[in-house]
Amino acid sequence: MKKTLSLALLLALLGGVISPAAQAAAPELSIEWLTTPGEPRSYNSELNWLTLFDPEGPPFFSCIDLATGQPVAYDLVEPTSEGLAVVGRCDQDGVLKYGAVDAAGQEVIPLEYGCMGPFSEGLAAVGRCDQDGVLKYGAVDTAGQEIVPLEYGWIGPFSEGLAAVEKRINEDGDQSWRYGFVDATGREAIPLEYAGGRSFSEGFAVVEKYDEDENLKFGFVNAAGQEAIPLEYGNARDFSEGLAVVGKRDEDEDGDWIWRFGFLDATGREVVPLEYDDVRAPQGGHLRAVQKDGTWGVFLAPAREDGKPWQTVWLAVAAIGAAFVATAARSLCLTRKSRRPAPQQAEAPAPQPEPKETGPTQP
């Protein structure tokens, strides 16, 4: 009976979402077939320029104006960011050089860099080989001025006024990579003393250091460079909607190492204990999902201000999962039976390692 009602409710919801117009036959498409060889790579809607990649090249890249069908003066164009679009053109040696154009297609930053990223907070990461042929990174402003000197081994996008940078440092005769942060003037605002670092989010950035046993530990620094949340976790992800995922390794009853995840708030308090096997942040809202012993549960972020634990709605999902919709009251869940019964309630959440950011890339 419950299964029948759940399916009926799901069909009713879908029926209310799909309009008669959407159910009607799709209109005929007007397709403009390209005469220039290559597969579409990137498109700039403001300029109406399309980059094509031809694996049979050289030339491997070409860029056409879709309004005229004619090639433009560049071989590559990226989407516009903060009023400027990164463009590239092969030099006489067949090497792509990067710069930027404005909304009218006028070149405002010369094509002299070996790589260039999109603009963020008025600055874009750029790279150029030094006299030894080593690619060094820095950042330019929208006028093309080099604000962050090109002396780093990597630079991330600017976020909340700061960007993570990496540089090879000589320590007691040994060279190792160290991470820190530069501000929008190019000043090293947070010293390069970490083994890793990511962009700022909601006032904090994930940083990494090795402990005395050579185990990599994660924590958070604030914009003043203070270690606001101690580096004691085996993994951490960026803050989002007031919460950050952290994880630690633990031993199971067989003596095997396993990961356990939970959530911190902005004070560093473990508002959700580190006891979950997996965690997700579904797109489209404040919902968080956690897994324990094969069963998924959901709760709503941000953290409760009264200090009480969240109420978690547990779903028996097995391999397929369940459909759910968040309501203003809390959550309405459509459950699907599995081979194991679902717990009635529990506390909640936890996610997984996040891939490290990369600097500006070459195609």
113-122: per-residue pLDDT in tens?
A: 999 999 999 9
Where b means 16+ CB within 10 Å and e means fewer, 129-152 reads eeeeeebbbbbbebebeebbebeb
Most confident of 88-97, 221-230, 260-269, 307-316: 221-230
Task: Give the model's confidence band at 324: pLDDT under 50 very low, under 70 low, under 90 confident, else very high.
Answer: very low
pLDDT for 76 beyond 60:
yes
Q: What is the pTM of this model?
A: 0.75
Give which of 196, 199, 170, 168 is closest to 182, Cα–Cα: 199
DSSP percent split of the chain into helix, strand, coil, nearest 5: 5, 50, 45
**Mean pLDDT over each residue of the chain, to the nearest integer:** 81
Mean pLDDT, rounded, for 285-303 = 82
Average pLDDT on 337-346 reads 33
Q: How confident is the model at residue 146 (pLDDT cuts 50, 70, 90)?
A: very high
- Letter for the amino acid at 219? G
Name the helix (H) or strand (E) containing 5. helix 2-17
31-35, 49-53, 153-157, 214-218: lowest mean pLDDT where?
A: 31-35
Averaged pLDDT for residues 42-47 = 97
How many C-beta atoms surround the C-beta of residue 64 within 10 A? 20
pLDDT band for 340, please (50, 70, 90 cuts). Answer: very low
Q: What is the mean pLDDT of residues 56-71?
A: 93
Please report which confidence band the pLDDT of residue 23 belongs to, taking 50, 70 and 90 as the band edges.
low
Q: What are phi and psi of 197, to 5 degrees?
A: -165, 150
The mean pLDDT of 175-191, rounded to a whole number, is 95
Is 253 or 199 the better-scoring residue by pLDDT?
199
Split at pLDDT 50, 70, 90, the class of 351 is very low
Lowest mean pLDDT among 226-240, 298-312, 329-343: 329-343
**Which tokens sit at 294?**
């094969």
Q: Supply the pLDDT for residue 313.
A: 60
Sign for the pseudo-dihedral over CA of 172, 173, 178, 183: positive
Region for residue 19 given its phi and psi (left: phi exceeds 0; alpha: psi -120 to 50; beta: otherwise):
beta
DSSP notation for 156-191: ---BTTEEEEEEEEEETTEEEEEEEEEETTS-EEEE
For residue 303, pLDDT over 70 is answered with no
Confidence at residue 131, expressed as pLDDT on a 0 to 100 scale: 92
